[in-house]
């Protein structure tokens, strides 16, 4: 595969495979979202995700990745990312983040969204809205000849203008034949950030993680679940995106009927 400054550039055929992978992820997330209601154990979503991977004949990307034990990351309330599906029951007013990845024909798709459980308070709804909009603000900057850190800046500026915080411990990433490729895609402008020119055919997973109380996170004793240090709420939205001469295209969307 062609590389530009260490970043893989995919050809059109490869992009179509990634669009298929991303489309499957979108269909799985849609089904998970439909199943969200008070009283559901989060393990039910894992089972649904596994079943759909079987139906689509794809491999769940996260299961076994660095020892991660599940197909799905399922993070509730103050859990930021990498939460384990469990016997925990969702309750009215919770928020639940689903992060799902699949491998189709050798290429990865990766996407996440945070879903309200029943009715949530207006404050909580605003957190979800701002986090999702910050993802779209970042995607908007994923353009040929733009700087990678224009994405970071757009996400960070929007989130902070709304009084929330971006998590720094985890970042977005290049994606393709591996789940994580160069470059890292931070949701903030790192100190000393230079210029990383974006080129058509580069594929990025952009994934803002946004919190109410502060940027710090800690990892629970299970070695995976990241929670906010102050246990304030956190939200996470992610899309797999390709840079084209015609602007950014989201690959993790369900195919049009």
Encoded tokens for 166: 């971006």
Of the candidate residues 79, 99, 150, 181, the single one contacting ligand MF3 (CB under 6 A): 99
Residue 74 interacts with, from Co ion, ligand MF3, none (CB under 5-8 Å by kind): none
Owner of token pair 């994934």: 207
Of the candidate residues 65, 91, 169, 214, the single one contacting ligand MF3 (CB under 6 A): 65
Q: Which is nearer to ligand MF3, 115 or 120 (CB)?
A: 115
Give min distance, CB of 65 to ligand MF3, in A. 4
Of the candidate residues 46, 110, 150, 181, the single one contacting Co ion (CB under 5 A): 110
Considering the rule CB under 6 A, would residue 84 count as an interface residue with ligand MF3?
no
Give min distance, CB of 13 to ligand MF3, in A. 24
φ, ψ (nearest 5 deg) of residue 204: -125, 140
Task: Lay out the site mask for ligand MF3 across 139-178 (x = CB under 6 A, - = otherwise).
Answer: ----------------------------------x-----
3-state secondary structure at position 51: helix
Of the candidate residues 4, 56, 68, 136, the single one contacting ligand MF3 (CB under 6 A): 68
Of the candidate residues 45, 62, 164, 165, the single one contacting ligand MF3 (CB under 6 A): 62
Cis preceding-peptide flag for 120 (omega within 30 of 0):
no
Considering the rule CB under 6 A, would residue 209 count as an interface residue with ligand MF3?
no
Spatial distance between the Cα atoms of 40 and 43, rounded to a whole number of angstroms: 8
Spatial distance between the Cα atoms of 3 and 16, rounded to a whole number of angstroms: 18
Residue 65 interacts with, from ligand MF3, Co ion, none (CB under 5-8 Å by kind): ligand MF3
Cis preceding-peptide flag for 183 (omega within 30 of 0):
yes
Using CB under 5 A as the binding rule, the residues of this chain from 185 to 224 that contact Co ion are 205
Residue 62 interacts with, from ligand MF3, Co ion, none (CB under 5-8 Å by kind): ligand MF3
Residue 19 interacts with, from ligand MF3, Co ion, none (CB under 5-8 Å by kind): none
Owner of token pair 């930021």: 80
Sheet with 247-250, strands from edge to edge, namely 181-185, 172-174, 203-206, 239-244, 247-250
Q: Which residues contact residue 203 at a Cβ distance below 8 angstroms, ignoring those fewer than 6 apart?
A: 8, 10, 15, 18, 174, 175, 176, 240, 241, 242, 243, 251
Encoded tokens for 111: 């996407």
Q: In the chain, what are the helix, strand and coil shares in percent, each to the nearest 5? A: 30, 30, 40
Given the rule CB under 6 A, which residues bind ligand MF3?
62, 65-66, 68, 73, 82, 99, 110, 112, 173, 205, 207, 238
């Amino acid at each position: 595969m062609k590389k530009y400054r260490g970043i893989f550039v995919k050809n059109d055929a490869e992009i179509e495979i990634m669009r298929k992978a991303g489309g499957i992820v979108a269909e799985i997330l849609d089904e998970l979202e439909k199943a969200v209601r008070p009283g559901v154990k989060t393990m039910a979503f894992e089972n649904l995700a596994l079943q759909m991977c079987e139906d689509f004949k794809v491999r769940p990307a996260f299961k076994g990745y660095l020892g991660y034990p599940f197909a799905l990351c399922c993070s509730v309330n103050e859990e930021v990312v990498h939460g384990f599906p469990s016997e925990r029951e969702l309750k009215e007013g919770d928020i639940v983040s689903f992060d799902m990845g699949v491998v189709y024909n050798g290429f990865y798709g990766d996407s996440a969204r945070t879903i309200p459980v029943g009715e949530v308070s207006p404050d909580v709804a605003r957190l979800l809205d701002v986090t999702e909009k910050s993802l779209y603000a970042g995607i908007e900057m994923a353009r040929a000849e733009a700087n990678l850190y224009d994405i970071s800046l757009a996400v960070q500026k929007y989130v902070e203008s709304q009084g929330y915080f971006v998590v720094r411990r985890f970042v977005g990433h290049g994606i393709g034949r591996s789940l994580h490729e160069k470059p890292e895609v931070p949701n903030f402008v790192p100190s000393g950030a230079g210029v990383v020119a974006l080129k058509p055919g580069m594929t990025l997973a952009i994934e803002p993680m946004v919190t109410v109380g502060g940027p710090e996170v800690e990892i629970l004793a299970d070695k995976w679940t990241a929670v906010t240090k102050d246990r304030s709420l956190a939200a996470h939205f992610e899309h797999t995106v390709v840079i084209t001469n015609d602007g950014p295209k989201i690959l993790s969307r369900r195919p049009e009927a």
